[in-house]
Amino acid sequence: MSYETLSFYMLSALAVCAAAVATFSRSIVNAAFGLLFSLAAVAGLYVLLRADFVAVTQVVVYVGGIVVLLLFGVLLTNRRLEDLSAFAHRPRAVAIILGLAVLTVLLSMVLGASWPQAEVAQLEGTTRPIGYLLLQDYLLPFEFSSLTLLIALVGAAYLVRSQERDE
Amino acid sequence: MGLIEQGLLIILLPLAGFFLVGLFGRKLPRQGDWLATGLVGASLALAVKTFVQVTLQHDPFAGARTSGPWLRFAPAEALSIGIMVDNLTASMLVVVGVVSFLVHLYSMGYMHGDPKYVRFYTVLQLFTASMFGLVLSDNLLTLYVSWELMGLSSYLLIGHYFEKPSAAWACLKAFMTTRVGDVLMFVGILILFLHVGSLRFADIFAAVADGRLAGSAQMWAGLLLFGGAMGKSAQFPLHIWLPDAMEGPTPVSALIHAATMVAAGVYLMARTYLLLSAETFLVVAYVGGFTAIFAASIGLVMDDIKKVLAYSTVSQLGYMMLGLGVGGFVVTGYTAGVYHLTTHAFFKAGLFLGAGSIIHAVHTQSLAQMGGLRRKMPVTFITFLIATLALTGLWPLSGFYSKDAIIASAIEFALRHPEHLALPIFAVLAAAMTAFYMFRLVFLAFFGDPRDAHAHSHAHESPLVMTFPLLVLAALSLPPVGGGHGNWFWIGNPVPLRGEVAQRYGVATAEQGQAKVSTEHGQPVLTTEGGVAHGEHPAADDPARRAHTMAIGASVTVLLIGFVLAWLIYIRRVVDPRALACRFAPIHRLLVNKYYIDEIVQAGVIRPVMALCRLVARADLWIVDGLVNLTALVTRAIAWVTGRADSHVVDGVVNGVADSAMTAGKALGRLQTGQVGTYLTGGVVGVVMLAGFVFWVLAR
Amino acid sequence: MMAEIGLTHYLVVAAILFALGVAGVLYRRNAVGMLIGIELILNAANVNLIAFARYADRGVGVPGVNGSAGLEGQVFAIFVIILAACEAAIGLAICINIFNKFGSIDADRADTMRG
- Please write down the long-range contacts of A130-134, taking CB distance under 8 Å and 24 or more positions apart: A130/A53, A130/C71, A130/C74, A130/C75, A130/C78, A132/C62, A132/C65, A133/C61, A133/C62, A133/C71, A133/C72, A133/C75, A134/C75, A134/C78
Burial category of C7 from C-beta neighbours within 10 Å (exposed 0-12, middle 13-18, buried 19 and up):
buried
Give the separation between CA B482 and CA B437, rounded to whole angstroms.
27
Residue B515's pLDDT band (cuts 50, 70, 90):
very low
pLDDT value of position A84: 47
Is B296 a residue whose pLDDT tops 80?
Answer: yes
pLDDT tens profile A101-135: 999 988 888 888 777 776 666 666 778 888 888 88
Give the pLDDT score at C77: 92
pLDDT in tens, B335-354: 788 888 888 888 899 999 99
* pLDDT over threshold 70, residue A66: yes
Establish if C114 belongs to a structural domain: no
Average pLDDT value for residue range B373-396: 85
- Quick: pLDDT tens for C41-55: 999 999 999 988 888
Q: Using a CB cutoff of 8 Å and minimum separation of 24, what contacts does B525-528 make?
A: B525/B60, B525/B490, B526/B60, B526/B331, B526/B334, B526/B335, B526/B490, B526/B492, B527/B60, B527/B486, B527/B487, B527/B490, B528/B331, B528/B332, B528/B335, B528/B486, B528/B487, B528/B490
Q: Which helix (H) or strand (E) holds B656?
A: helix B651-669
Contacts 24+ apart (CB under 8 A), B374-382: B374/B446, B374/B447, B376/B456, B376/B459, B376/B460, B376/B461, B377/B446, B377/B459, B377/B460, B377/B461, B377/B462, B378/B461, B379/B461, B379/B462, B379/B467, B379/B470, B379/B471, B380/B354, B380/B461, B380/B462, B380/B467, B380/B470, B381/B446, B382/B474
Of B27-36, B121-130, B678-687, which one has max mean pLDDT?
B121-130
Q: pLDDT band at B77, cuts 50/70/90?
A: low
Cis upstream peptide for B396 (omega within 30°): yes
> Which tens digits make up the pLDDT trace of B517-548?
333 333 333 333 333 333 334 444 577 777 87
* Full DSSP string of B88-99: HHHHHHHHHHHH
Which residues in chain C (19-78) have CB-CB distances under 8 A to chain B? 22, 25-26, 29, 34
What does the pLDDT average to over A57-84?
A: 75
> What stretch of H or E contains B67?
strand B64-72
The confidence score (pLDDT) of residue B62 equals: 65
Residue B223 — very low, low, confident or very high, per pLDDT cuts 50/70/90? very high
Which residues have a Cβ under 8 Å from the Cβ of B382 and sit 6 or more positions away? Answer: B474
Q: Distance between CA atoms of B573 and B580, rounded to whole angstroms?
A: 11
Inter-chain Cβ pairs, chain B and chain C, closer than 8 A: 34
Confidence check: pLDDT of B292 > 60: yes
Whether residue C28 lies inside any domain: the answer is yes
Q: How far is CA A46 from CA A42, A118, C5, C45, in A?
A: 6, 18, 14, 13
Q: What angle do CA B577, B581, B586 make, to 5 degrees?
A: 165
Q: Which residue of A has its CA nearest to C77?
A: A54
| Burial profile B184-215: b = 16 or more Cβ within 10 angstroms, e = fewer | bbbbbbebbbebbebbbbbbbbbbbbeeebee
**pLDDT 10s digits, C3-60:** 577 888 899 999 999 999 999 988 888 888 888 999 999 999 999 999 888 887 666 6
**CA dist list (Å): C83 to A70, A145, B251, C91:** 16, 7, 60, 12
Touching A: B residues 629-688, CB under 8 Å? 677, 681, 684-685, 687-688
Continuous segment of H or E residues that includes residue B170: helix B165-196
Whether the predicted pLDDT of B59 surpasses 70 = no
Residue C46: domain span: 7-56+70-102
Tell me the pLDDT of chain B averaged across its residues. 80
Percent of chain A with pLDDT over 90: 23
pLDDT level of residue B496 (50, 70, 90 thresholds):
very low
Instruction: Compute chain B's Rg from CA coordinates.
Output: 32
CA nearest C24 in A: which residue? A23
Per CB-CB distance under 8 Å, the chain C contacts of B680 are 25-26
C44 falls within a domain: yes
**How many angstroms separate the first and last alpha carbons of chain A?**
62
Q: What is the pLDDT of residue A1?
A: 64
Contact status, residue B525 vs residue B519, Cβ threshold 8 Å: yes
Answer whether residue C66 shows pLDDT above 70: no
Residue among B684, B691, B696 minimizing CB distance to A98? B684
Q: In angstroms, what separates the C-alpha of A107 from chain B's closest C-alpha?
A: 11
Report which secondary-structure segment, H or E, holds B526: strand B523-526
Closest CA to A102 of C37, B161, B643: C37
Assess if residue C64 is contained within a domain: no
Best of A96, A98, A103, A114 to disrupt the B interface (most B CBs within 10 Å) is: A98
Q: How much is the average pLDDT of C66-78?
A: 79
Chain B interface disruption, residue of C20, C22, C98, most B CBs within 10 A: C22
pLDDT at B73: 60
* Mean pLDDT, rounded, of chain A: 82
Number of domains into which chain C is organized: 1
Contact A105 B695 (CB under 8 A): yes
- Transcribe B548-585 into DSSP letters: HHHHHHHHHHHHHHHHHHHHHHHTS-SS-HHHHHHHTH
Question: Average pLDDT of A80-107?
Answer: 75
For strand B64-72 and strand B78-85, is the pairing parallel, antiparallel, or unpaired?
antiparallel
Q: What share of chain C is helix, strand, coil (3-state, %, to 5)?
A: 70, 5, 25
Per-residue model confidence as pLDDT tens digits over B322-337: 988 888 777 677 778 8
Q: Answer whether B330's CB lies under 8 Å from B409's CB.
A: yes
Find the CATH number of the domain harbouring C39.
1.10.287.3510
- In chain C, which residue's Cα lies nearest the Cα of A58? C81
| Residue scoring higher pLDDT (B578 or A93) | A93
Does residue C113 lie in a domain region?
Answer: no
How buried is residue A115: exposed, middle or buried, by Cβ count under 10 Å (0-12/13-18/19+)?
A: middle
CATH topology of domain A1-78: Four Helix Bundle (Hemerythrin (Met), subunit A) (1.20.120)
pLDDT of residue A150: 92
pLDDT above 90 as % of chain B: 13
What pLDDT does residue B527 have?
Answer: 36
Instruction: Give the pTM.
Output: 0.61
Q: Is residue C40 one of the residues assigned to a domain? A: yes
CB C19 within 8 A of CB C32: no
ipTM of the modeled complex: 0.85
